[in-house]
Homo-oligomer: A and B are copies of this chain.
Amino acid sequence: MLVVMQTHATQGQIDHVLDAIRDMKLTPHPMPGATRTAIGITGNVGAVDPRTLEVLPGVMELIRVTKPYKLASREMRPADTSIKVANTVIGPGTCTMIAGPCSVENEAMILRTAEFMMENGVRLLRAGAFKPRTSPYSFQGMGLEGLKILEKARAKTGIGIVTELMDTDNADAVEAASDIIQIGTRNMQNFSLLKCVGKARKPVLLKRGMSATLEEWLMAAEYVMAGGNYNVILCERGIRSFSDHSRNTLDLSVIPPAKKLSHLPILVDPSHGTGKRDYVPAMALASLAAGADGLLIEVHPDPDHAASDGAQTLDFTAFKKLLDALKRLAEPLGKTVN
Contacts and interface: CB of A to CB of B under 8 A. Distances in A.
Interface stretch (A119-127, A129-137, A144-152): A129-137
Contacts of A40: 2, 29, 31, 38, 40
B135 A219 contact: yes
Interface stretch (A84-92, A109-117, A199-207, A327-335): A327-335
Interface centre among A4, A135, A187 (most CB of B within 10 A): A135
Interface string A266-305: 0000000111111100110111111100000000000111
A167 B189 contact: no
Interface in A178-199: 186-187, 189-193, 195
In this complex, the interface size class of chain A, counting residues with CB under 8 Å from chain B, is 35 or more
A68 B244 CA distance: 16
A40 B41 CA distance: 11
Interface stretch (A93-101, A155-163, A246-254): A246-254
Given A245-B213, A276-B55, A277-B55, A63 B2 contact: yes
A253 B274 contact: yes
A312 B50 CA distance: 12
A311 interface: yes
When A and B form their complex, which 5 residue pairs have the shortest distance between CB atoms, in order from nearest? A51-B311, A211-B211, A167-B192, A33-B42, A286-B290
Given A33-B42, A245-B254, 7 more contacts: A8-B75, A34-B42, A51-B309, A52-B305, A68-B137, A245-B257, A256-B283
